C-alpha cells in the first residue's frame, strides 16, 4: 500500500524539522511495514513508508534522480513503466534500479509536467526539483491512490497519503 508525507515551505528555505516528517510517517506505519525513509533539505522534507511490490530489494525512497537534481516519494504502480523506461533509455537516460519510481524521475526530467499524461497506473507522488526549488504533487486521474494536502498559516504546504497526517 505504501504512504508518502511531506512539508514544503513556499516562502523560502526555512528549516524543516525531521521529527515532524517522521511523525507524519509514523501515523501511517500500517501502510508500509517494509521500511521508512525521510529526506530533508532547506525548505523541504519528504517522507515515505514502504510496502515493497516491485523491485523488492531496491528502489529505496525517498529516491534521488540519477543526477541528484530531483527527489521523489511515490505510492502506487506505473503500469507502463517498462515501455517508458525503454523509450527514456533510448534518449540516454540511465537507470540504477528495476522499479517504476526511477522512471517517474527520468520522465519528469525529459518531459517536465507533460510526463503526467504518459503515466498509466494508480499513483500519488511528490517530486522536488532542487534546481528550481519547486514541488510537484500529483496523483492518478481517478484518485485511486490518495493524496491529501493543506496550506498552513505560514504558507507552507503539507501533504500525505492519509488525512490524519495533516492534523
Active-site residue, 25 included: no
Check 1, 2, 94, 116 and give the catalytic one. Answer: 2
d(CA 29, CA 25): 7
Grid coordinates given for 11: 516562502
d(CA 128, CA 165): 19
Which are the catalytic amino acids? 2
Amino acid at each position: 500500500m505504501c504512504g508518502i508525507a511531506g512539508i514544503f515551505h513556499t516562502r523560502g528555505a526555512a528549516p524543516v524539522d525531521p521529527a515532524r516528517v517522521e511523525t507524519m510517517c509514523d501515523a501511517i506505519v500500517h501502510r508500509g511495514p517494509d521500511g521508512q525513509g525521510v529526506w530533508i533539505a532547506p525548505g523541504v522534507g519528504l517522507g515515505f513508508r514502504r510496502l515493497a511490490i516491485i523491485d523488492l530489494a531496491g528502489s529505496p525512497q525517498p529516491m534521488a534522480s540519477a543526477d541528484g537534481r530531483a527527489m521523489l516519494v511515490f505510492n502506487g504502480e506505473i503500469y507502463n513503466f517498462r515501455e517508458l523506461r525503454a523509450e527514456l533509455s533510448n534518449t540516454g537516460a540511465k537507470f540504477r534500479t528495476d522499479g517504476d519510481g526511477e522512471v517517474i524521475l527520468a520522465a519528469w526530467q525529459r518531459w517536465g509536467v507533460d510526463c503526467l499524461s504518459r503515466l498509466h497506473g494508480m499513483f500519488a507522488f511528490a517530486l522536488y526539483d532542487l534546481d528550481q526549488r519547486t514541488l510537484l504533487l500529483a496523483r492518478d486521474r481517478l484518485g485511486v491512490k490518495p493524496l491529501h494536502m493543506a496550506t498552513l498559516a505560514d504558507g507552507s504546504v503539507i501533504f500525505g497519503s492519509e488525512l490524519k497526517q495533516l492534523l
